Amino acid sequence: MTDEYLLSRLNTSDDTSAYIEIYNRYHAQLYVAACKRCSSTEVAEEIVQDLFINLWKSKGTINIHSSLSGYLFTAIRNLILNNVHKDDIRKKYNLSFGVSMTEYDNSTEENVIANDLNYHIDSKLAMLPQKCRLVFELSRKQYKSNKQIAFELGISEKTVENHITYAIKSLRMSLRHIFS
């Protein structure tokens, strides 16, 4: 079967045998041509697949003025050029995005602020009554429940709640200048 005959069958019928014959005839050659020009074999395979998908989608409307092989190899070249162009745009975008992200990196400043806040909290906790500070640290630093703290210290759960409430209110009042 000639290329012209296969192309006319592809354009005039829903018979997939012409498409399969074109695929079997040109796939390997197109893949080799794409591999020579692409950065990876995966990209080359994707481009060849895209070509055959486009060929199937446009069946019935394909109007080739030269040979089928010339059309397919020109299509592969154009798809490769489009892919290279898209990769260049992606690289430029990622490069500019990466530059802009580094301009706004303030992790050092955030660490300084966090350390400063921890210092203020620790200094304010040191000013609390000993039992209140102990209850607060067991609750917030050792993640113990009110029931566990009450059992461990031999006090009621209500007393634990009162100590935690007092500690939080004291911390809020003494640290409000930091948050305003």
Per-residue pLDDT of the chain (180 residues; tens, 9 = 90+): 888 888 888 888 776 888 899 999 999 999 999 999 888 899 999 999 999 999 888 888 888 878 889 999 999 999 999 999 998 898 888 887 765 555 566 778 888 888 888 888 899 999 999 999 999 999 998 999 999 999 999 999 999 999 999 999 998 888 887 766
Residues 47 and 60 placed together within one structural domain of the fold? yes
Residues 10 and 31 placed together within one structural domain of the fold? yes
pLDDT given at position 4? 85
Write the CB contacts of 52 (distance below 8 Å, at least 6 apart in sequence). Answer: 23, 27
How many Cβ atoms sit within 10 Å of the Cβ of residue 149?
A: 23
Domain endpoint, select from 88, 103, 118: 103
> Residue type at 94?
N
In whole angstroms, give the CA distance from residue 32 to residue 39. 13
Question: Which tokens in the block code for residue 81?
Answer: 């050029």
Residues 92 and 132 placed together within one structural domain of the fold? no
Domain endpoint, select from 103, 129, 144: 103
Expressed as residue numbers, the domain containing 37 is 3-103
pLDDT given at position 167? 93
Residues 44 and 131 placed together within one structural domain of the fold? no
Q: Where are the beta strands (DSSP E) in the chain?
A: none
